[in-house]
Amino acid sequence: MTGPVFRECGVHERYSVMRTVYGSPPVVTFAAVLTATSADAEPVLQHLRSRVTHILANSLPMRCGIIQAESHRPRFCSLEPAPTARDVVFLRKSAAVEEGLDEEAALRKLRNEYMTAEQTLLMDKSQQSLYDGALWTVALYPVTSSRKPSYIVVASFNHILTDGKGTFNLFHALLSAAPPPPDNKDVFPPASDSAFDMQAVQKPDPRRDEEIEATPFWPSEVRKNLLECPIGLRTIDLGPSFTPRLKAVATSHGVKTLHAILEVASVFALSLAVNHGSGDWNDGASPKFAIGHSTPINIRGSPLSTAPVSTHGHYGGNWVGGRGGKTLCRPQLQFWDQVKHVAAQLADPATLKGAMALWNGLKALPSSTGDKLEPAQHDAVDGQPLEVDGWSAYARHAVEQTPQISTFLASLGCSNLGFFPLDRTADDDLFTVSNCCWTQTASPIADAIIVNIMGAGWKLPTPAGAGSGAGQKEGEGLADGSVAAATVAAEHQPILSQAVADVGGLSFGITYRQGSVDEANLERFEAYLTRLLSLLAQGQIAESDDVAAIWSKLA
């Protein structure tokens, strides 16, 4: 017996159901290192369970599953029996930090291993059934180390339930000192395609030209069936001094949002990596591959919504639009000019209005194959036999039947969730939080590589009138790309006049499918991006520096 059906899946959720059915469940995972005051894991475990109990009671989507997942009408349905905190929170076996490594590095290595393990576990569970227990988990790993007692907490969520900002809010709620407020306790968020105009068309990029359009984006082929490729993860962790230094550099170049810098740095680093050895970057020749890139944009709480913003919710619901592009990193392409071009796009209200165009394209896929499911499966409302989902059949065919052809929609996804405020997490009498990171599973029909970015640190007072040098507010309200600028949404207004500063590092969780692309390209990408970010924070990328100049500094 199943519980009440709340609504049919919207276009966002149906896309995630499709991914799950064809073998690539979309799972978003967060992790952090907890430094505790006691070696006894029970107080930390009870803290997490109390927060999960509160979330389950106050957020309807988090206690739901999906019925009729393989039909063309998948639906949200409350789970029976209702999940409890013990069904969501798990205490895992303890481990010791690796000898010979710096303790911080050893903890981050364990964090990465546990993130991949928990992500894989939820992927496997989701594939078995979308209506057999909660579609999210929280795992606590005790770690034996020479310093204070440490734990690694990992939270994983199926994207069907919520988007990046929702998972960001959930992870913060898990670690908060105070219980989070109710979140539309008994109201299910509307589907995004019922609350927004999905027909909106993005403005064409005036910088597009025939050479860019004619150049294939990387990767043009894959090395093996993507469903046979396990999830790969690489991380870059930058220290507490990085964010304020980069913000100061951004301000000196007249740039008000860090996201534009981070996105362009990722595009440049990947282009240099995949075109490595194809010629001297100083000889004026164009690279062999262009970089197709995408950035999710938060529409949660947008005034463009026809549904009351109050119904969007804080945790559940999928409220993500998208902005895509294709960049040909010619030797003469200037870094800061490209950053300002991206920043201008993000500041344009039309970007937010057109953010749903990508999702509207999914409606071109057939609703069903016309094939009937088992006679026992009937529609919950009209009792008619259910037809097989055409979206899942299309995706399965694309991935399984043509593994030699790239089915990726882009080379690179750059998803930035903004600033995670550590000063409002946990309780100093119980534990402190550090080394936050997040990832999401790479999909065979989405981006080949996803760069998942978040900052984590503290808001500190600054001298009156000094300003923070931050330019663009990077934390609160930013979601799944967090790129809407001051003219788009009120929560993204510049904070130059505010007497606080974000002090903290940045983490980059780079996810991909192991074996689908050349691992050497990924190694170079990680190395080039790390080095380029360091040069940027040191102010060593000049206003006039182009790809050729940057290459000479990286080589």
The string of DSSP codes covering 209-246 is -HHHHHSPBSPSS-SS-GGGSPEEEEEEEE-TTHHHHH
pTM of this structure: 0.90
14, 85: one domain: yes
449, 547: one domain: yes
**Cα separation, 79 vs 202, whole angstroms:** 39
* pLDDT above 80 for 455: yes
Name the token pair of 515. Answer: 């074996």
Question: Do residues 329 and 547 lie in contact, with contact meaning Cβ atoms separated by under 8 Å?
Answer: yes
Name the residue with higher pLDDT: 222 or 338.
338
Q: Buried b / exposed e across 238-250, counting CB within 10 Å, b at 16+?
A: beeebbbbbbebb
* Amino acid 469: pLDDT: 33
Q: Which domain holds residue 453?
A: 228-303+320-357+409-555
Lowest-pLDDT choice from 80-84, 402-406, 447-451, 479-483: 479-483
* Amino acid 133: pLDDT: 94
Q: How far apart are the first and last CA of the chain?
A: 63
143, 263: one domain: no
User: Does residue 205 sit within a domain?
Assistant: no
User: Does residue 209 sit within a domain?
Assistant: no
User: Does residue 216 sit within a domain?
Assistant: no
* Amino acid 206: pLDDT: 61
Q: What is the 3-state secondary structure (H, E, C) of 181-215?
A: CCCCCCCCCCCHHHHCCCCCCCCCCCCCCHHHHHC
pLDDT band at 501 (very low <50, low <70, confident <90, very high): low
* Amino acid 338: pLDDT: 97
- Mean pLDDT on 293-317: 89
* Amino acid 313: pLDDT: 87
* pLDDT above 90 for 49: yes
1, 125: one domain: yes
User: Does residue 403 sit within a domain?
Assistant: no
Q: What are phi and psi of 44, to 5 degrees?
A: -70, -40
- How high does pLDDT run on average in the chain? 84
181, 262: one domain: no
156, 297: one domain: no
552, 499: one domain: yes
Cβ-count burial of 396 within 10 angstroms (0-12 exposed, 13-18 middle, 19+ buried)? middle
Q: What are phi and psi of 55, to 5 degrees?
A: -65, -45
155, 64: one domain: yes
Domain tally for the chain?
2
Closest by CA position to 106, among listed 237, 241, 230: 237
* pLDDT above 90 for 522: yes
User: Does residue 416 sit within a domain?
Assistant: yes
Last residue of a domain, one of 149, 171, 194: 194
Last residue of a domain, one of 194, 213, 244: 194
pLDDT in tens, 359-399: 877 878 888 988 888 766 666 666 778 899 999 988 888 77
Cβ-count burial of 260 within 10 angstroms (0-12 exposed, 13-18 middle, 19+ buried)? buried
Place of tokens 């050895």: 277
DSSP 176: B
* pLDDT above 90 for 210: no
* Amino acid 278: pLDDT: 59
- Most confident stretch, 280-284, 489-493, 530-534: 530-534
* Amino acid 3: pLDDT: 77
Length of the chain: 555
150, 272: one domain: no
User: Does residue 211 sit within a domain?
Assistant: no
Positive or negative, the CA dihedral 270, 451, 420, 339 is positive
57, 123: one domain: yes
424, 471: one domain: yes
Q: How much of the chain exceeds pLDDT 90, in percent?
A: 52
User: Does residue 513 sit within a domain?
Assistant: yes
CATH code assigned at 418: 3.30.559.30
* Amino acid 464: pLDDT: 44
pLDDT in tens, 158-169: 999 999 999 999
CATH code assigned at 5: 3.30.559
* Amino acid 499: pLDDT: 40
3, 142: one domain: yes
User: Does residue 35 sit within a domain?
Assistant: yes
Q: How much of the chain exceeds pLDDT 70, in percent?
A: 85
Question: Do residues 13 and 5 lie in contact, with contact meaning Cβ atoms separated by under 8 Å?
Answer: no
Name the residue with higher pLDDT: 427 or 105.
105
